[in-house]
Structures are given as C-alpha cells and as structure tokens.
Structure 1
Amino acid sequence: MTIREATKEDLETLLEFEQGVVLAERPYNKTLIEGEIHYYDLPSLMSSEDAILIVAEQNHEIVASGYALIKQAEKDYTVFKKYAYLGFMYVKPEYRGQGINRSITEKLIEWSKEKGMSEIRLDVYDQNESAVKAYEKVGFEPLLLTMRLKN
C-alpha cells in the first residue's frame, strides 16, 4: 500500500468517495437533504498550504482518503490558537478491516505535528461505534457530544 498526496487526476474517484461518506452518514443524521451532497472543497484542500489531502493506493487503485486542515481555534480561551482538523476519512468497503484507515490517520497526525499542531480533532457520529473504536485505537478520546431536539 502506498500513501501519497492527492492530485487533480484523483478528483473523480475522490468525488465518488465523498458520496460514500454521505451514504455512510445518512443513517446517523436524519437532517441531511436527499440527493447528492458535497461536504468538501477538494481542489482547495489540494492546493492549500494549511491542508493535506491524501489517498491510499493498492495495486494502482485508490482505496482510501483523508485530509488534515489547520484551523483557527473557535474560542480565544483555549490553550491552543490553531489545531488540525481531520476529515474525509473513507475506505472502500472491500478494503475495510485491513488497517488502512489507521495508516491514513497516522499519516495525517504526523503531518499535523510537523506543522506544529499540538491539538488534533475530528468529528464522528457517537452511534458509529466502529468508527469511534477505530479512532480511539489511534489515541483519540471523546470530548463533546452535540445533542439536538427534533420538532
């Protein structure tokens, strides 16, 4: 397996992965609109100095993705002013369970630390137990649960 930065030539596959993320999240989020949704500005992530978008390849096939993006802290009372946010973690279904997501996550953490980030965050639906466990194995811990009231 090779992990590398994504290129414009990967965009078609990455757009398919994005819809895979949406499909995976629909059972956890009933507020998503129907149809195609675009969460990410992939070309921006590829060209930003404050981001890295990576893919995992196996046998010349892109099988996974993820990004890290340096963001400003939302609150001025935190001990950090900037942090790295990880997202777009996707592994093609037939390649899951092989440690690929862990490799992607570790590479993004490494990049974030090289950029001087001491705080690294990501979002995961609390009901997505397999994803929560996968991120806990890499060292993440729960911080905040967002709750909502349905009308």
Structure 2
Amino acid sequence: MNPTNYGGSMNPTIRPASMDDLDGVVASTAALFAEDAGERDPLRNPNWPEQHGTQWCRELLSNPNALVLVAVAGAGVGGHLVGNLYDPSDMWTVARAELVSMYVRPELRGQGVGGQLVDSFAEWARSRGAASLQVTAYAANAAALALYQSRGFAPLSITLTADAGEPPTPTNHG
C-alpha cells in the first residue's frame, strides 16, 4: 500500500502503522473512546485505551489478518483505522473484513482523510479475498454514516438497545 498525501494545511499521509506509531495509535484510540463515551454511548469505558490499548495495538500490529493504518499529520498521528480479515468458516461462506475502529482528529476532518482510510481498508480487504466488508457505527454519528455510505456501505441489520432497568408496562390495544 503506497502512502497517500493530501492537500490542506497539514498534508496528512495515510500509511500502514508500525511499532514506532504505537503511542500515537493508542492516543487516537483514546480520543475515539472519549468522543464515543462522551457523545454517543454512556456505557463505553473511556479508560479502556489507557488500561488495554497498548497491548491491543501491539497484538494488532503483529497479526497478519489485521490492518492498522495511521493518518500522519506534522509530527504525529492524526487518525487511525483498524480492520480485521476473517476467513470463511462453517458459519460464514466467504472471507469478510470488518472495519473495527476509525478516528480522525477534528482539525483534519473535512480534508478527505476518513475517506482515504476507508478506501485503503477496502483495497487491503479485497486484495486478500474478502467478499464482504462491514462496519458498525453509532446511529447518532451522522458524519460517519454518511462517509461509510459514500463508500458503498449500506445498512444490512439494525441493532436495537434498551435500558435494562424496569421493563415497560404493556399497553392494552384492544
């Protein structure tokens, strides 16, 4: 995968991550968790990257079925993407790839960085025989949904959630 340069004030470059990027990928993951926990999912543990991120990223970087990309801007990591490839199995008839995690710093958004990360993921997955690409995004994250849909992703299933507190009282409709 060739690095891709972007226009704009920070000229981000997309490239595969290396162990030298470990701290930057963990920091980018922490920023994603902080944003999701703060805006989209109060059940998300914003401290997970601090507690487990370094080990998780080390394992990803050594996994031949994982992709870790970084968007480098200036001297640091301005965003990341993590993807996994899954072989066909008794349950799944084709190889498939999942975009597991993606984050772009707010100051780099709107410059095409997210789209280039997704495009690089799709190229990587297809080159390894994936017949299906999937991503999960929060329904409240309209920008992410629009980005993924602009790259050919479409809803296949919907996850519904409910507070596990007191069950609702059934209503009588008749």
Q: Could you tell me the TM-score, scaled by structure 1's length?
A: 0.88
Q: Aligned letter for 1:87?
A: V
The DSSP-based 3-state class of the residue aligned with 1:25 is helix
CA drift of 1:65 comes to 0.9
Match of 1:82 among 95, 101, 109: 95
Give me the whole-angstrom Cα distance separating, in 2, the residues matched to 1:147 and 1:75: 27
How many aligned positions are there? 148
Which whole-Å deviations, capped at 9, do the CAs of 1:45-72 have from their partners, x for residues lacking one?
1111111111122334321210221125
CA drift of 1:74 comes to 8.2
Unmatched 5+ stretches in structure 2: 6-12, 166-174
Residue 59 of structure 1 is matched in structure 2 by: 74
Match status 1:42 vs 2:53: no
Match status 1:121 vs 2:134: yes
Residue 15 of structure 1 is matched in structure 2 by: 26
The DSSP-based 3-state class of the residue aligned with 1:90 is strand
Q: Percent identity?
A: 23
Which whole-Å deviations, capped at 9, do the CAs of 1:74-94 have from their partners, x for residues lacking one?
872x5x333101122111111
The DSSP-based 3-state class of the residue aligned with 2:161 is coil
Residue 105 of structure 2 is matched in structure 1 by: 92
Match status 1:30 vs 2:45: no
Cα–Cα, structure 1 residues 149 and 73, in superposed 2: closer, same or farther, change >3 Å? farther
The list of structure 1 runs, each at least 4 consecutive aligned residues, that deviate by more than 4 angstroms after superposition, is 72-75
Q: Aligned letter for 2:133?
A: I
Give me the whole-angstrom Cα distance separating, in 2, the residues matched to 1:86 and 1:75: 22
Q: Could you tell me the TM-score, scaled by structure 2's length?
A: 0.77
Give me the whole-angstrom Cα distance separating, in 2, the residues matched to 1:12 and 1:64: 12
Q: Aligned letter for 2:34?
A: L
